[in-house]
Homo-oligomer: A and B are copies of this chain.
Amino acid sequence: MLAGYDTSAAPLQPAVVLVRPQLGANIGAAARAMLNFGMIDLRLVAPRDGWPNPDAGPSASGADAVLAQSRVFGTIAEATADCHLVIATAQRPRDLTKLVHTPRSAAAAVRAEPTRSALLFGPERTGLLTDELALAGAILSVPTNPDFGSLNLAQAVLLVAYEWASAADPGARLNAYDGPASAASVDALVDHVERELERAGYFRVITREAATRRTLRNLLTRPAFSEKEVRTLRGVISTLTGERLRARGGEP
């Protein structure tokens, strides 16, 4: 049992997802920063030096329980499969058509979600790749000094955890929106669209395939479609595409 905050009363605290973390000491320091503000759901994607890592414990300074119950995944998609709102940190977001949060507005967004959220943090040296940022529904950027902006991993986690703990309950949402679909559902939607576009030759007639794929992924992930909306969209695609035509032999 973890000391401190009654975690049963906060079942929907966000998952902190460290993507390809390099140093065990930074994983431990991140765990400490989380527990300082009552966050316990630590997930690791492909930690560079494997897991467990003997360097993590000392820098956790007592937050060993967070390390002990952390989970390791092979991909971001696996790590966030149960998360509906995925927010990715980026030092200087560019060329992204996504909402860019401050830590404070991200905390408010997480608090406002009735379902689980994930906060992604990239490797110490490089941060998340552009294609990894494209997987997220929104971006989080800490507004640091433009010429000295590099926060270490645990400090970035600390600020986000601090804001999460500081965020007061913003109150019930006043609309009928039933919350965003899981990342897995949205991934399947993106795959479905890409598959049909490939079949239709879309990527043969455009000039910048990678950029177009990224644009597509961005525009399908950013809206935070609900599960019902994802199902509707998939029905739309199936209707519009050869699935219908193929069924009656009309597809070349």
Nearest first, the 9 A-B pairs at minimum CB distance are: A223-B223, A4-B147, A3-B147, A4-B145, A219-B229, A202-B239, A240-B240, A35-B148, A38-B145
Across the interface, which residues of B come within 8 angstroms of A95, CB to CB?
176
Q: Is the CB of A143 within 8 A of B174?
A: yes
Residues 29-52 of chain A: 1 if any B CB is under 8 Å from the residue's CB, otherwise 0? 000010111100000000000000
Q: Which of A14-22, A78-86, A96-104 contacts B (4 or more CB under 8 A)?
A: A96-104
In the complex, whether A216 has a CB less than 8 A from a CB of chain B is yes
Minimal beta-carbon separation of A193 from chain B (angstroms): 7
Which of B36, B244, B252 interacts with A145 by CB under 8 Å? B36
Minimal beta-carbon separation of A133 from chain B (angstroms): 11
Q: Is the CB of A239 within 8 A of B155?
A: no
Across the interface, which residues of B come within 8 angstroms of A218, CB to CB?
229
Q: Which residues of A come within 8 Å of B, CB atoms?
A: 3-5, 33, 35-38, 61-63, 93-105, 139, 141-152, 154-155, 158-159, 162, 165-166, 169-170, 172-178, 193, 196-197, 200-202, 205, 212, 215-216, 218-219, 222-226, 228-229, 232-233, 235-237, 239-241, 244-245, 250, 252
Taking CB as reference atom, which chain B residue is nearest A99? B177
Q: Is the CB of A240 within 8 A of B102?
A: no
Minimal beta-carbon separation of A242 from chain B (angstroms): 8
Q: Is the interface of A mostly helix, strand, loop or mixed?
A: loop
Q: Is the CB of B100 within 8 A of A226?
A: no
Across the interface, which residues of B come within 8 angstroms of A196, CB to CB?
240
Minimal beta-carbon separation of A234 from chain B (angstroms): 12
Which of B38, B97, B144, B236 interacts with A37 by CB under 8 Å? B144
